[in-house]
Amino acid sequence: MNDEKLTYAKSGVDISAGEKASRAAYKNAKTTFSSRAGRIGEPMKIDGGFAGALDFGNFLLIQNDDGTGSKSEIAERLGKYDTIGEDLLTTVCDDAICVGAECVSLTNTFDVPRVNFDVIETMTAGLARACVREKIVIPGGEIAEVPGAASKIIWNATAVGIVKKEKFITGKNIRPGQAIVGLQGRVLRSNGFSLARKICERTFGENWHEISWRGGETWGEILLTPSKTFHRIVLDAVLGDFESERKFEISGVVHITGGGIPGNVPRIFSEKNLGAKFDDLHDPHPAVAELKKLGNLDDEEAYRTWHCGTALLLVCEEKDVEETCAALNQRDGEINAKKVGEITNSGKIELVSKFSGKRLTF
């Protein structure tokens, strides 16, 4: 084994640069807000939020974008395209649920070096199946053949959601002492793949995706495991859809994507002194634990890059934890909803690593 410690940055992704660019992009986006002042669709300022919100009278229209990232590259390696649509849907509708919105539509765009009918038909069929389950429509999209500009498939989506103003989740009611409920994810979502691929390539060579992992699965197959989508589960069990009443009061929702728990949890805090402590997170998937070992990663690097087991967080009152978890688990036992931590006034993110038992502070 190569003993060099790998990092996300060494795999080609600089999280801090990405965060800085996102802040700059949103700063420029806000210069457009005055153009809708006093008009239908006036935007709300949500610094650090997971989705944008536009005022449509008695409800808010929610919009957000994302893509499958380099997880599509693994689908191309395997020639297996039927599940990647689940990942695309998850990236956007599980961001929309962070503000309490019911996602109603999704449009998607392809940038490809060459149009392959069979591939695109398979990918969009998988996306459609996932959308039907989540009660989301696909009103349109775009396929661009851009040889020279793209060497691999680039697949992105925009989601549109709706939420009544009184049900909009802003994080303003979060306070120390509240509980944090965690929902268990699968292997990896659509982030952190540059590091996972770098580890596999360094360890197993160019054809790493063909190397057996365990139980007959290859490394390519296990890493292509589709993301678990939480949108409809959370709506049905906890938040209620657009017309329904809240079943349990939720102060904040966090989708654990790029940046992991330490990078995403602070996005819902309205006050700088707020923090969170996690003592009972879900165990990382065995393949993720093995990746960490093969890459000689520090625990901190793993938790900054991947969800490491817990892929969605809900902030609620301590008294509601048991009933909230029961409702979620009754809806879908795979998510193993449980209390994983609590809100603090430390201004820090603290967690007990499920890799080593070490207490980490960010």
What is the mean predicted confidence (pLDDT) over 179-184?
98
Q: 3-state DSSP call for residue 203?
A: helix
pLDDT at residue 211 greater than cutoff 60: yes
**What CATH number is attached to the domain comprising 248?**
3.90.650.10
246 contacts: CB under 8 Å, gap ≥ 6 = 167, 238, 239, 240
Cβ neighbours of residue 217 under 8 Å, at least 6 residues apart? none
What integer is the mean pLDDT of 50-79? 95
Both 275 and 306 in one domain: the answer is yes
Instruction: Give 12's pLDDT tier (boundaries 50, 70, 90).
Output: low
Same domain, 149 and 281: no
Domains of the chain: total: 2
User: Is 90 exceeded by the pLDDT of residue 276?
Assistant: yes
Residue-level pLDDT at 11? 62
So what's the pLDDT on residue 2? Answer: 60
- 117-142 tens-digit pLDDT: 999 999 999 999 999 999 999 999 99
Assign 5 a pLDDT band (cuts: 50, 70, 90). Answer: confident
Lowest mean pLDDT among 47-56, 105-114, 181-190: 47-56
Tell me the residue range of the domain where 127 lies: 29-167
The residue that leads in pLDDT, 200 or 11, is: 200
Q: Are residues 293 and 217 in the same domain?
A: yes
Q: Which of 143, 167, 191 is the last residue of a domain?
A: 167
Q: Which of 309, 264, 311 is nearest to 291 (CA)?
A: 309
Rounded to the nearest angstrom, the gap between the alpha carbon of residue 235 and the centroid of all alpha carbons in its chain is 16
pLDDT of 181 over the 60 cut: yes
β-bridge partners, 180: 315, 341
Nearest to 239 by CA among 229, 230, 250: 250
Query: Do 185 and 310 share a domain, yes or no?
Result: yes
Tens of pLDDT, residues 74-116: 999 999 999 999 999 999 999 999 999 999 999 999 999 999 9
Position 18 scores a pLDDT of 72
* Same domain as 186, residue 144: no
Residue 345 is assigned to a structural domain of this protein: yes
More confident residue, 258 or 15: 258
Q: pLDDT for 296-322, tens place per residue?
A: 999 999 999 999 999 999 999 999 999
The radius of gyration of the chain's CA atoms, rounded to the nearest angstrom, is 20
pLDDT, greater one: 289 or 270: 289
Instruction: Please state, in angstroms and rounded to a whole number, the distance separating the CA atoms of residues 147 and 165.
Output: 45
User: Looking at the structure, do residues 153 and 229 belong to the same domain, yes or no?
Assistant: no
Of all residues in the chain, what percent carry a pLDDT higher than 90? 86
pTM: 0.93
Residue 8 has pLDDT above 90, yes or no: no
Same domain, 224 and 356: yes
Q: What is the mean pLDDT of residues 159-170?
A: 96
Please check whether residue 87 lies inside any domain of the structure.
yes
| pLDDT tens for each residue of 320-354 | 999 999 999 999 999 999 999 999 999 999 999 99
22: in domain? no
Query: What's the whole-number average pLDDT of the chain?
Result: 94
Would you state the pLDDT for residue 14?
Answer: 67
Q: Please determine, for residue 13, whether its predicted confidence score (pLDDT) is greater than 80.
A: no
* Nearest alpha carbon to residue 239 among 327, 307, 319, 176: 327
